[in-house]
Structure 1
Amino acid sequence: MRIKAFYIVCLILSNLLSISCGEKKVAPVAEKKLPNIIYILADDLGYGDISSFNPGGKINTPNIDKLAQEGMKFTDAHSPSAVCSPTRYGIITGRYSWRSELKNGVLTGKSKALIPKSRTTVASLLKGAGYQTAFIGKWHLGWDWAQKDSTNFGAEGWNPEDFDNLDFTKPITNTPNDLGFDYAYGHSGSLDMAPYVYVENGKSTAEVDHITEDTGDYTWWRKGPTAADFVHDDVTPNFFRKSMNYIKEKSKGETPFFLYLALPSPHTPILPTEEWLGKSGLNPYADFMLMIDDYVGQLTKTLEEQGLDENTLLIFTSDNGCSPEANFELLEEKGHDPSGIFRGHKADIYEGGHRVPFLMKWPGKIRPNSVSNETICHTDLMATCADIVGVDLKETEGEDSFSLLPILDKGDSTGYKREATVHHSINGSFSIRKENYKLILCPGSGGWSYPRPGTDDLSVFPKFQLYDLKVDPSEENNLFEKYPDKTNELAVLMKVYIENGRSTPGTKQTNASLHLNGKEWHQIEPILSH
């Protein structure tokens, strides 16, 4: 035993001497390479529209399901809002949109920029960490079109004449490029919102030369100015082509990249290309879903072909629940519910409005076929990216963002610090979720399903709703009057989150004014007076 130990010591000394004499060099430990990050955001895609989340559904999505097989599926993921613009604000900033000027509803295609240049975004954070950054797709967070008459912005409406004062030949300002994106290509609002113009790095890509509209059952969009190169049917394929070309281009270098691919689909207009029409056997919406799934497969194949798959964090999710424009009645007749087992749909405070599919694939980091049942939110992207690159967020950054990295590392909730999650409906109504209890601070849906504010008589319903989602995921049994202590606990926590300007630990921050367009932000009154 002593002889063996003696030889080991001699061997160590020999190696040290050879290094000092220059006979043998030890290679330095390679620095850990930062991953590429791709965030694919679908538009109005329901929790039940991905087959791995809804095995009993009738839409088969094998390529998106493959992300679950090779990565992690989150069964309790949520958008911060049940509609487009506020969710996108939360993704980009790590902050709830109702802290900004946007307290309810969505922006239009003409709206001015919502996010100031002074606010840190996921893109500017990653750019500061050495990433190349790109946005491709539907922006819907406002930018400032050039005006022919700077003293007259005109109505922010939907009629063609509302766009007469916009000058599409001049550069726009306050663009995604001003928020940290090195490259930006997309259109301003939803695909049914004029103007229909591609903007690349602050400039229109073609002359606006005609007015278009479609009024079909699935294919409708609002009448408005359209550029020569803008073809509605080709917008989704175009964004995927652009994204795959971007991946190919970046594969030639060593710099990590962040790609935010914000799809305009399957939001209206519902436009599956000819080869996909009728493929689902259900309706055009389901055909559109099959087309999106196929393009996701093409994109992941591109990553593999370019040798980037192993060092890329790929995220797929949706901005909110499915819209009733998908024709729920027909789909349900054929055995498919876009919301799965959950109540409501897009715009609603109910789960169908904001519980969304969420998948993350990161080979070597995330174990294949792993599942997380932790309640997470889209706003968590900011803190997760900061954690990946080793940057500490400032007090004024990511006020509602919690890093998902501990979940990816350990496969459980260890280290994930989210206490509760706030949701927001289209009319600005709140709910707050902590563990299995969800308190809804309004008597109805706050959106488009029954009981609908402004349409149905809400006076016959309790002013608040409390659900135990563990035993009642479909939100059928209101426990508000049965559990007053739980109601009070959650209402007080919501009040704290509002008054502190954040839900993360840190110094108090300021929300934007509680008034919007001269009207009181009435949804906050029952909370602050509770």
Structure 2
Amino acid sequence: MLHHTSPRHPFPVGHFGARLLLVIALFSCCTVVANAVEFRPPNVVVFLVDDLGYMDIGANNPKSFYETPHVDALADSGMRFTDGYAANPVCSPTRFSLMTGRYPSRVDATNFFSGARSGKFDPAPLNNNMPLDETTLAQVLKSKGYATFFAGKWHLGETEEYYPQNRGFDINIGGYSKGGPYTGNRYFAPFKNPQMAEESPEGDHLPDRLARETAKFIDDNHDKPFFAYLAFYSVHTPLMGRADLVEKYKAKAATIEGAEFGDEEQVFGDKPRQVRTLQKHAVYAAMVEAMDEAVGKVLGQLEASGVADETIVIFTSDNGGLSTSEGSPTSNLPLRGGKGWVYEGGIREPWIIRYPGMTKPGTLSSQPICSIDLLPTIASAAGVKLAQEVDGVDLLPLLKGDALPNRSLFWHYPHYSNQGGFPGGAVREGDFKLVERYEDGRVHLYNLKEDLAERNDLAAQHPERVNEMRERLHGWYQTVDAKFLQRKGDGPEPWQP
């Protein structure tokens, strides 16, 4: 038999050659299929808890009054961050940063929507909607073929065009303009939430309903990449807990002695400002445990659906624990202040990330991270090259065990908070944090490694460091076009940087 050489195939073509070509073709086909499976983007589940303080979970505070076994187990299975932050000391701005990877000051979304409280001065102008030209994390993942789901508190726009179902989420359960469960029977059904198509049976508990909906979405979509964002209304006011858990914690609180409150600085108003110094609020504890149970239900569904090893899980909060107002249900000590304050108690949050195959179980990181980092990190994991500019960084190298380059983190809160905090800004660089007050321009410098409680002001001792950090903070103000306090009536002109 004569053989000839094909210009496309540099080996003889005959019975043997044909068989060899078939084997190579089959091998190539299998390789393509294997690579397609190997590089399937990971699923993503984000838990965002409203008003949960850094010290409210057992993983961060072994002496916590609250019991959070499921969240603690999540921390044991992934990486826990000791220096994780929210981009703002109140909710809507941080939610903006989580969705966009950008500082909220860029769009004047610097207070909860729509907080316009005045003090000595009028607050800075406030945008009450996440602009429609902002690209959200859900839109980024949807472009990669993800099924997307939202449940819980949204609080990022006043009307329906701003709601989750119009910002990249296929499904929205309960997210709209309100910042709390203020309709119906609040945390218990009937909820009368306009973004819940089906009402729960009477007495159903809101965190459990949201967890069930999330679990159902996971099971319905376990065979494709999915993104589930469970943004609890818990543990925001109104303070309401399940009766069985409230009774449990009442009994536990009865065994704890000590003063529950201490004095905090008075920013405005006539009443002395107090801060909770002891965790023993039974109703709040019941709300924390119910949230933890809901987290456990969703994590359990990942296991039951066989996708736990293919799913990135992130757990965090939108601002610090409520310690100085509205019942002051929790203590953030040793962190100073709480929700509404630019002290650590208002911005340092629980942060846990579990990325199977990348994060080693039970690892601890003291690298400062922030809510602006969520979008770039998840986009990187999903293989998406971002078209838009973001302020956050990709945390995947950190999750692998490498260090991130040093950077500055910034805060800008030109408002008078419901919780008594002062209008101010801050910058953190390494162990040092500079706080600037917007009423008069005073600055404070703290070494967080040595003084986590921010009680020892070092500004007078380190004038050069103060000047350098303040210069960078003011440069950042210009970069994000930050707005500041305004004159109130015919009163004095406020300080301007």
For the criterion TM > 0.5, the same-fold answer is yes
Corresponding position: 1:389 with 2:382: yes
User: Aligned to 2:145, what secondary structure does the other structure show?
Assistant: coil
Separation in 1, partners of 2:351, 2:203 = 27
Amino acid at match of 2:364: V
Amino acid at match of 1:393: L
Q: What does residue range 29-178 of structure 1 map to in structure 2 within 5 Å? A: 29-31=34-36, 32-107=39-114, 114-144=129-159, 172-178=160-166
Return the offset for 1:239: 1.1
CA contact (8 A) 1:464 1:480 kept: yes
Q: What does residue range 506-517 of structure 1 map to in structure 2 within 5 Å? A: 511=481
User: Aligned to 2:205, what secondary structure does the other structure show?
Assistant: helix
CA contact (8 A) 1:101 1:516 kept: no
1:267 to 232, 236, 241: 236
Label 1:239 to 1:18 Cα distance change in 2 as closer, same or farther (>3 A): same
Amino acid at match of 1:181: F
Separation in 1, partners of 2:192, 2:90 = 22
Separation in 2, partners of 1:365, 1:75 = 19
CA contact (8 A) 1:90 1:97 kept: yes
Amino acid at match of 2:389: E
Amino acid at match of 2:143: G
Label 1:104 to 1:291 Cα distance change in 2 as closer, same or farther (>3 A): closer
Return the offset for 1:362: 1.8
Separation in 2, partners of 1:313, 1:338 = 30
CA contact (8 A) 1:185 1:198 kept: no
Q: Tell me, which stretches of 5 or more residues in structure 2 are unaligned?
A: 1-15, 116-125, 185-190, 254-281, 417-422
Separation in 1, partners of 2:206, 2:366 = 34
Partner of 1:354: 347
Label 1:303 to 1:518 Cα distance change in 2 as closer, same or farther (>3 A): farther
Label 1:190 to 1:356 Cα distance change in 2 as closer, same or farther (>3 A): same
Corresponding position: 1:245 with 2:181: no
Q: Deviation per CA, 1:181-218, whole angstroms, max 9, x where unpaired?
A: 12122143222556975244xxx737xxxxxxxxxxxx
Separation in 2, partners of 1:481, 1:42 = 38
Partner of 1:378: 371
Return the offset for 1:317: 0.9
Partner of 2:311: 312
Label 1:205 to 1:516 Cα distance change in 2 as closer, same or farther (>3 A): farther
Q: What does residue range 413-452 of structure 1 map to in structure 2 within 5 Å? A: 413=403, 416-417=404-405, 419-425=407-413, 427=416, 428-442=423-437
Partner of 1:22: 22
Amino acid at match of 1:128: S
**Aligned residue-pair number:** 419
Partner of 1:166: none
Return the offset for 1:271: 2.1
Separation in 2, partners of 1:519, 1:490 = 33
Label 1:19 to 1:319 Cα distance change in 2 as closer, same or farther (>3 A): farther
CA contact (8 A) 1:73 1:360 kept: yes
Separation in 1, partners of 2:237, 2:411 = 23
Return the offset for 1:250: 1.0
Label 1:239 to 1:192 Cα distance change in 2 as closer, same or farther (>3 A): closer
Amino acid at match of 2:338: H
Q: How many percent identity over aligned positions?
A: 32
Separation in 2, partners of 1:98, 1:519 = 25
Partner of 1:488: 467
CA contact (8 A) 1:47 1:355 kept: yes
TM-score (normalised: structure 1): 0.72
Separation in 1, partners of 2:424, 2:436 = 7
CA contact (8 A) 1:285 1:326 kept: no
User: Aligned to 1:51, what secondary structure does the other structure show?
Assistant: coil
1:277 to 224, 240, 246: 246
1:408 to 396, 399, 408: 399
User: Aligned to 2:313, what secondary structure does the other structure show?
Assistant: strand
Q: Deviation per CA, 1:471-507, whole angstroms, max 9, x where unpaired?
A: 1111011011211111111111112222223xxxxxx
Separation in 2, partners of 1:230, 1:350 = 42
Q: Deviation per CA, 1:223-251, whole angstroms, max 9, x where unpaired?
A: xxxxx869797322221111111111112
Q: Tell me, which stretches of 5 or more residues in structure 1 are unaligned?
A: 1-15, 145-171, 207-227, 332-336, 444-452, 454-458, 502-510
Separation in 2, partners of 1:192, 1:96 = 27
Label 1:130 to 1:385 Cα distance change in 2 as closer, same or farther (>3 A): same
Amino acid at match of 1:174: Y
Q: What does residue range 206-217 of structure 1 map to in structure 2 within 5 Å? A: none
User: Aligned to 2:434, what secondary structure does the other structure show?
Assistant: strand
Partner of 1:182: 170
Corresponding position: 1:369 with 2:362: yes
Separation in 2, partners of 1:518, 1:185 = 41
Q: What does residue range 456-475 of structure 1 map to in structure 2 within 5 Å? A: 463-475=442-454
Separation in 2, partners of 1:349, 1:232 = 38
